[in-house]
């Protein structure tokens, strides 16, 4: 019932390790197994994780992580210097839908970008002025995700990518436009 550690999880971890600073106040949205946060928690000043799944929240608490059950960013009043998100980025077909928590971890909606769009729409409220966000996405989300980021007034750069059999995964660093 929890999204397992996978290629996209490892890509987020690799990008975050290179980006994280000792003074960062970090939020990992959609922590899933807690794998990324568990590896990073000693590399920053403070870290909190969130997930919509009660199973993921329970797992994160078992790991001793500061945990909040939340849907994306709307509930956070504090602003963060680094926000990490490995969102659902696939568009599931009707026959693939199971109505469970794993589906929520996989199904990004139409073109796989609906959850990412909601995240980008809320990002300004949770990101400090000089903050950064790292977002994982797939080549199947192009060019839509780039247009969504730019339309909302952010800029991005590719930090890392990984070629898989049927797609390429990307770790994007998103910042506020100067």
Per-residue pLDDT of 86-133, as tens digits, reads 998 777 666 666 666 665 666 667 888 999 999 999 999 999 999 999
Please report which confidence band the pLDDT of residue 82 belongs to, taking 50, 70 and 90 as the band edges. very high
**pLDDT on residue 94:** 65
Write down the pLDDT at residue 1: 78
To the question of pTM greater than 0.85 for the whole model, the response is yes
For residues 139-160, give the mean pLDDT: 96
pLDDT at 134 over 80: yes
Pick from 89, 80, 31: nearest CA to 59? 31
* H or E, element range at 69: strand 67-69
Rounded (5°) CA angle 79-107-128: 10
Measured CA distances, 50 to 98, 153, 173 (Å)? 23, 25, 20
- Mean pLDDT for 48-70 is 96
Two structure tokens written together for 50: 């969130």
CA angle centred on 161, ends 123 and 10, rounded to 5°: 80
Residue 115 CB partners (closer than 8 Å, separation 6+) = 72, 87, 88, 89, 107, 108, 109
> Are 121 and 99 within 8 A, CB to CB?
no
Q: Which domains does the chain have, with CATH numbers?
A: 7-176 (3.40.50.150)
Tokens of 87: 């969102």
Q: Identify whether the C-beta of residue 50 lies closer than 8 Å to the C-beta of residue 67.
A: yes
* Token pair for 31: 């922590």
Question: CA 44, 162, 116: angle at the middle one, nearest 5?
Answer: 65
């Amino acid at each position: 019932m929890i999204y397992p550690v996978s290629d996209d999880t490892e890509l987020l971890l690799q990008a975050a390790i290179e980006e994280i600073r000792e003074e960062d106040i970090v939020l990992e949205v959609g922590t899933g197994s807690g794998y990324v946060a568990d590896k990073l928690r000693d590399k920053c000043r403070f870290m909190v994780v969130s997930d919509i799944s009660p199973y993921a929240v329970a797992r994160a608490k078992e790991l001793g992580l500061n945990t909040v059950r939340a849907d994306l960013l709307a509930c956070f009043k504090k602003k963060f210097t680094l926000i990490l998100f490995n969102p659902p980025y696939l568009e599931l077909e009707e026959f693939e839908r199971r109505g469970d928590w794993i589906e929520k971890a996989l199904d990004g909606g139409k073109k796989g970008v609906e959850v990412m769009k909601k995240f980008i729409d809320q990002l300004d409220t949770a990101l400090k002025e000089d903050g950064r966000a790292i977002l994982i996405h797939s080549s199947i989300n192009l060019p839509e995700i780039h247009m969504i980021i730019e339309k909302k007034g952010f800029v991005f750069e590719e930090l890392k990518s990984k070629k898989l059999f049927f797609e390429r995964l990307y770790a994007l660093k998103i910042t506020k436009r100067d």
